[in-house]
Structure 1
C-alpha cells in the first residue's frame, strides 16, 4: 500500500504503472494482481487506507479536545485547541495535501472517493452532543461541522497553499481564534 501510494502521488493514477508499483514494493506484478485484481482496486485501496489513518488521527484529536468540554465556559478554549491542532496538521502534512490533490485530480474517474464524510460526521456527532447538553445551538450538526472545519482550516490552507508554504504557529492561532469566534457567533447557545 505504501509503495502504491508513493507511486500514485508521484505520477498520478494515469501515469502510475503496476510495474513501477511492484518495483517500489519489491514484489512481482503478479502479486499485485493476485491481491488487488488490478490498478484501479489498488488505487482505491491505497487512498482508503490512507484516509482511514487520517480519520483515526482526527478522532483522537476530537477525544483530546471537544470530548473534554464540561460546560459552556470550556467551549471556546476547546474549539480553539481543536482548530489549532487540525489546522496545523492540515497545513503541515505534505502527505495529506498530496492525497487531497490526487483525490481532486481523480474524482471524475472515481466518484467513489466522495463516498462518506467520516471526519465531518465524527465532528457532527460531537456538535450534536453539545447541542443536546444545551452548550451549543446546532440545528444541523453536519452543516455546522462543515462550517467549523472550513472556518478553522480554510484560511490556513489558503495561506499555506495547501501545505506548500509554512504558516507560523502564531498566525495559525490567530486565524483559528477568528474562525472559532465566527462559529460561536452563529452556534452559541443563548
Structure 2
C-alpha cells in the first residue's frame, strides 16, 4: 500500500491548491536536480510555499519523491494503456498496425517531459534510492503497462496472428525490439531523435519481432 501524505489538508475530490503547487514544484526540482541533490528548501521556493507547509503534506523528502513519481507514473500509464487499447485491438494489418502503435508509443510526449526526466533520475540514482521508491514507481507505472501489453499481445496470439509458447517472453521481446532501442539511442528521451530515425527503428523492430512470432 502506498504511504499517505501526513497532515490534515488532504481533501476529498482532489488535491488542495497548495499540494498541487508542491507536486508540480517537486516534479520540476527532482527532474532538474535529481533525488540526492534536490532539497525540500528548493522545492518550497519553487512552489512558493514555506518548508513547514511541505511537511504538513509529506513526511519527508523520500515520501515526497515517492508520491511525486507515483502520481506522474499513474498519469503516463493511463495514457499508455489507452494507446494499447486503441492501437492493438482489432488489428487487421498486423505489421502496419504494430508499426503504427510502435511509432505512437516511442514518440516523446511534451506533456510527460518531467515524468521521463524523473525516470532518468531513477535510472541514474537507483543504487541510492530507497527500495520503497523503486517499487512504488514500478507498481504505479511500468507493471500496469506491461500487464496491458501482455493482454493485448495475448489476444493477437488467440486470433492466430502470432504464435508463442511463452507469452511473457514474447512481450519482453516486443518491448526490447520496438522501444528499448529508441530509449537507449535517445538516452530515455533526453536527446530527441529525428522522426526518420524513430520510424526506421520501429519498423526494424517490428519486422524482427514478426520474423520470430508470425506463423
- TM bracket, shorter-chain basis: 0.7 to 0.9
CA distance in structure 2 between the partners assigned to 1:84 and 1:160 by the alignment: 14
Q: Mapping of 1:33-112 within 5 angstroms?
A: 33-69=55-91, 71=92, 74-89=93-108, 94-108=113-127, 109-112=129-132
Give the TM-score normalised by structure 2.
Answer: 0.77
Alignment match, 1:166 = 192
1:154 aligned onto 2:174: no
Alignment match, 1:144 = 170
Can you give the 5+ residue segments of structure 2 that lack an aligned partner in the other structure?
A: 1-22
1:24 aligned onto 2:24: no
CA distance in structure 1 between the partners assigned to 2:102 and 2:96 by the alignment: 10
CA distance in structure 2 between the partners assigned to 1:67 and 1:15 by the alignment: 44
CA distance in structure 2 between the partners assigned to 1:111 and 1:53 by the alignment: 22
Can you give the 5+ residue segments of structure 1 that lack an aligned partner in the other structure?
A: none
CA distance in structure 1 between the partners assigned to 2:115 and 2:59 by the alignment: 26
CA distance in structure 1 between the partners assigned to 2:112 and 2:196 by the alignment: 18
Question: Greater helix percent: which structure?
Answer: 1
| Count of residues in Structure 1 that have an aligned counterpart in Structure 2 | 186
CA distance in structure 2 between the partners assigned to 1:154 and 1:131 by the alignment: 22
Alignment match, 1:2 = 24
Per the alignment, do residues 104 and 41 of structure 1 end up closer, same or farther by CA in structure 2, a change over 3 Å counting?
same
Q: CA RMSD in A?
A: 2.2
Give the TM-score normalised by structure 1.
Answer: 0.87
